[in-house]
Chains A and B, each alone.
Chain A
Amino acid sequence: MGGYAVYVWSAYGITLIVLIANIWAAYRRHAGMLVRAGREGRLEAPGRQPTVREIS
């Protein structure tokens, strides 16, 4: 790399880390919202009896 290796590879390395972090964050948020929506849906299901914790 003609003396530029540390600059080039650090730029590509940081880019790769940020891109992977973006993928992780987007999928984590989507999965988290799916779990939350599923939990809320079960809590509000018709005919369901509330738990003691919810009443108290």
Chain B
Amino acid sequence: MGFVRWFHQLASPPYVYRLAGRLAPWFAVSGVVLMAGGGYGGLVLAPPDYQQGDGFRIIYVHVPSAYLGMLAYMVMATSAAVGFIWRMKMAHGLAVSAAPLGASFTFLALVTGGIWGKPMWGTYWQWADARLMSELLLLFLFLGYMVLRASFDDREKADRVSAILAVVGVVNVPIIHYSVEWWSTLHQGPTIARLDAPAITMDMLAPLLVMIVGFTVFFAWLLCKRLQGEILDREGRARWVEQLTGGASA
């Protein structure tokens, strides 16, 4: 019963706005601390790779960015689906908030991957590579979702139509993950997410895991702030917003 009540509360804009406001500072502090610690571990404490030398240190920003791009897409698609099925405006608001964050992390994954690729593969980009192309498609899905929304004046219609695109695009997420196994790619195979043991040693893996957690908490922080802005955009004339801004008493 407690969960059902809490789930229903998530449909309440003032409840979600205040919850996001309370969580954001905690996510901000812990995210920045974890990223600083992980960055120090990756740049200073981790030993050079025996093949890639110090060039491998790019993975400490590349891998978390790529992971966050996919996580943000799943957050966007899942909340868009919840909004579509249960007509929950807050779920659509969450999807809208996740899209620009996901796009920026996917952009980072592509750019840092290209920078890594130049010294390791001899090229920044390879059009025939399945991992690179599916990651590029993820960026286009985020951008397409935002452009599609912007093309509608009616917000409810934008919510419904963009939710369909977001859900259909989910098929690309497993393709990104398994592309290095299904096809012969320039991109290396899985390093961490393997059924047996990770392919890197613990002193290299630990900072990477800290960075991944730090990036995730950082994403949660900005998701909260973006959601607060989105709620105000949708609820600008509501009584609780007037009370919040002091508009009614002015």
Contact = CB atoms under 8 A, between A and B. Distances in A.
Contacts of A34: 232, 244-245
A26 B118 contact: no
B247 A45 contact: yes
A29 B101 CA distance: 13
B104 interface: yes
B236 A2 contact: no
Main secondary structure of the interface of B (DSSP, over half): helix
Contact of A7 (B58, B222, B233): B58
A2 B53 CA distance: 7
Interface string B39-77: 100010000100001110110011001000000000000
B118 A19 contact: no
Candidate in B226, B245, B250 with the most chain A CB atoms within 10 angstroms: B245
Nearest to B48: A2
Contacts of B232: 30, 33-34, 36-37
A36 to B, nearest CB: 6
Interface residues of A, number: 35
B142 interface: no
Nearest to B113: A11
30 contacts: A1-B53, A1-B55, A2-B55, A4-B54, A4-B55, A4-B57, A4-B119, A5-B54, A7-B55, A7-B118, A8-B57, A12-B39, A15-B112, A18-B104, A22-B104, A26-B222, A26-B225, A26-B229, A27-B225, A29-B226, A29-B229, A30-B226, A30-B228, A30-B232, A39-B247, A40-B237, A41-B237, A41-B242, A41-B245, A45-B247
Interface of B: 39, 43, 48, 53-55, 57-58, 61-62, 65, 100-101, 104, 107-108, 111-112, 115-116, 118-119, 218, 222, 225-226, 228-229, 232-233, 235-237, 241-242, 244-250
Given A26-B222, A30-B225, 15 more contacts: A1-B54, A2-B55, A3-B53, A7-B115, A7-B119, A15-B112, A19-B218, A23-B222, A34-B232, A34-B245, A37-B232, A41-B247, A41-B248, A44-B242, A46-B248
